[in-house]
Amino acid sequence: MSFKTVRMAAVLAGLLVGGCSSLGAGAAPSASTSQSSHAQLEQNARVALAQLYSSVPRAKELRSHAVAILVFPDILKAGLMFGGSGGNGVLFSRDGKVLGYYNASAVSYGLQAGAQSFSEAMFLTKPAAERYLDSSDGWSIGAGPSVVLADSGMGRDMSSTTLRPDVYAFIFGQVGLMAGMGVQGQKITRLGA
């Protein structure tokens, strides 16, 4: 691969990461604009969570063990060697009350190419995970609570003895094509009201 190709990939990834990290940023929106965008984000997050529950019954079972559920209804990811992703989400209590609004952004490096969008739901199973989410200056996956990427093949018995990690994460509703392997870190920060 030529130096020019690597440099072009780095520039594209930089632009993408910059765009992803500024989601929800910019000029201070008016209160009505902010309320409208929060209402739309909440609606999209509830729809995404309902889709997860209907397609993965174990996720619905996990809800009863969670203290909170963080739902990102639309994360956009793209990359060519260097990549980035980002999207906004909503933190719900177990009974569906909105606890806050968050942004997830990530950078990655490795053999990868393509673009896709997907949804992500994170079931916080311990109060300490929820406290850490709000007390840390941007919660980084791998640097905070232990996270297990859950799938439909996870254990059948989900009781308080089998739920040891702090967070179970589901990736679902993928659209697009993103191929490859790489190293990725995800940062989650609270959005202003």
Q: What is the pLDDT of residues 64-91, one digit of tens each?
A: 889 999 999 999 888 887 888 899 999 9
SS3 label, residue 154: coil
The CA radius of gyration of the chain, in Å to the nearest whole number, is 17
The candidate with the shortest Cα–Cα distance to 45, out of 77, 108, 87, is: 87
**DSSP single-letter state for residue 183:** E
Which secondary-structure segment (H or E) carries 21? helix 3-21
pLDDT band with cut points at 50, 70 and 90 for residue 116? confident
For the entire predicted model, the pTM comes to 0.72
User: With 60 as the cut, is the pLDDT of residue 165 above it?
Assistant: yes
